[in-house]
């Protein structure tokens, strides 16, 4: 659709308003806050003018944000979901975790981390009874020069095979999550679940928006990690099974090529690395984690 160009008088009115709002921050004593507000106003007005926003559309946007506010509480954060599906979370992560040498790449945190996940020993099982195919996960934690990082804290969490996190059943439930520490040679190993795809919470305004634009709420299958060690930048990331068709259209744009790993399917009866008896099929994956130095 071609829009008729605004008349010079109309242009002057619109541009004048932008400058008046920008000037309203002149006395702001916090330079960063001023920079953020001035840039926000310039981009917001550019958007409104670019699409020639109607008053009905403005009203619909206000109503959408109001519904997002009403559904948000201590455990449901609709504004973060909105940021996620617009790629704003992932872009913020990209900016703040710039690629550094061979360090493992970061991706979205998501809303399902909890602080008090149980500790497991090396080789322990973080499933804690959650349904799903067992998966043996192993690797090393090193710095970017290949030096082993002993005692790195490794937090892991994931959805069960029904696509739900423990806290979605009951805020107090703890399963399919845990933490462990890397060994003296930097190695780690644990049993988890083979990841499966699941939808982000889509029963609110963000789900309705996805539906209206013909997008799926599904996240690519993944296993979350948060790895920390003194002197290193804390890494928040996931690994994604190779061959997952959802990988191409992850609803929150979290997939990075370097984080796609081969989860090798094992037939029932295949001996396990630690001699554990597993009924049925299982899988195994290797994920070598490289941490960037603090401040990188
Ligand atoms: C998750 O990975 O758990 C997640 C990430 C972003 C939005 C919703 C869920
Ligand atoms: Fe997740």
Residues (pLDDT < 50) of the chain are 1
**207: domain CATH number?**
2.60.130.10
Same-domain pairing of 150 and 254: yes
Residue range 131-181, pLDDT digits in tens: 999 999 999 999 999 999 999 999 999 999 999 999 989 888 999 999 999
DSSP 29: S
Cα of 196 to ligand 2 centre, how many Å?
Answer: 10
In this structure, the residue with its CA closest to atom 5 of ligand 1 is: 110
> Does a structural domain hold residue 2?
no
Mutation probe of ligand 1 site: the residue of 112, 201, 215, 224 with most atoms within 8 A of C-beta: 112
Q: Is residue 117 part of a domain?
A: yes
For residue 4, the model assigns a pLDDT of 64
Q: Which domain holds residue 191?
A: 81-291
Question: pLDDT digits over 237-263, tens only?
Answer: 999 999 998 888 999 999 999 999 999
DSSP string, 240-293: EETT-GGGGG-TT----GGGEE--EEE-TTPPPTT-----S-EEEEE--EEEPB
Considering its fold, how many domains does the chain have in total?
Answer: 2
- Report if residue 42 sits inside a domain: yes
The pLDDT of residue 75 is: 77
Pairing of strands 235-241, 260-261: parallel
- Same domain for 174 and 46, yes or no, is no
Q: Residue whose CA is closest, atom 2 of ligand 1?
A: 110
Q: Flag whether 58 is in a domain.
A: no
Residue 160 lies in a domain: yes
Give me the helix-helix angle, 55-71 and 205-212, nearest 10°.
Answer: 140
Q: Are residues 37 and 100 in the same domain?
A: no
Task: Quote the pLDDT of residue 3.
Answer: 66
Q: Is residue 62 part of a domain?
A: no
Asked if residue 242 lies in contact with residue 270, where contact means CB atoms within 8 angstroms, the answer is: no
> Is residue 94 located within the same domain as residue 144?
yes
Of the candidates 276, 239, 263, 261, the residue with the CA atom closest to the CA atom of residue 107: 239
Query: How far does the centroid of ligand 1 lie from the alpha carbon of residue 198, in Å?
Result: 9
* DSSP-assigned letter for residue 159: -
Which residues line the pocket of ligand 1, CB cutoff 6 A? 81, 84, 108, 110-112, 200, 219, 252
Euclidean distance between CA atoms 194 and 178, whole angstroms: 15
Residue 8 alpha carbon to ligand 2 centre in Å: 51
pLDDT value at residue 5: 73
**Do 41 and 101 belong to one domain?**
no
pTM of the model: 0.90
Residues 6+ apart with CB under 8 A from 15: none
Strands 282-286 and 134-143, sheet pairing: parallel
Atom 8 (ligand 1) nearest CA = 200
CA 124 to centroid of ligand 2, rounded, Å: 21
- 85 with 49, same domain? no
Q: Are residues 112 and 149 in the same domain?
A: yes
């Amino acid at each position: 659709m071609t829009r008729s160009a605004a008349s010079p008088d109309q242009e002057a009115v619109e541009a004048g308003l932008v400058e008046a709002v920008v000037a309203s921050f002149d006395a702001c004593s916090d330079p960063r806050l001023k920079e953020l507000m001035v840039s926000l106003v310039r981009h917001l007005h550019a958007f409104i003018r670019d699409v020639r926003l109607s008053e009905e559309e403005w009203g619909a946007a206000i109503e959408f944000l109001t519904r997002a506010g009403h559904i948000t509480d201590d455990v449901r954060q609709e504004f973060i979901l909105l940021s996620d599906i617009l790629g704003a979370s992932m872009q913020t992560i990209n900016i703040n975790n710039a690629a550094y040498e061979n360090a493992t790449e970061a991706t979205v945190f998501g809303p399902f981390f909890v602080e008090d996940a149980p500790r497991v020993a090396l080789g322990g099982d973080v499933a804690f009874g959650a349904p799903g195919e067992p998966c043996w996960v192993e690797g090393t934690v090193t710095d970017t020069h290949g030096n082993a990082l002993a005692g790195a804290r490794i937090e892991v969490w994931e959805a069960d095979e029904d696509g739900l996190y423990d806290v979605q059943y009951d805020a107090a439930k703890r399963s399919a999550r845990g933490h462990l520490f890397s060994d003296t040679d930097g190695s780690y190993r644990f049993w988890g679940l083979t990841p499966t795809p699941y939808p982000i919470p889509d029963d609110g305004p963000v789900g309705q928006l996805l539906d209206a634009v013909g997008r799926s709420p599904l996240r690519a299958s993944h296993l979350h990690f948060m790895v920390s060690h003194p002197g290193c930048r804390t890494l928040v990331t996931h690994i994604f099974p190779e061959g997952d068709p959802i990988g191409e259209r992850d609803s929150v744009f979290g997939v990075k090529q370097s984080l796609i790993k081969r989860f090798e399917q094992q037939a029932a009866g295949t001996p396990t690395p630690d001699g554990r008896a597993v009924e049925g099929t299982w899988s195994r994956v290797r994920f070598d984690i490289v941490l960037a130095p603090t401040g990188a």
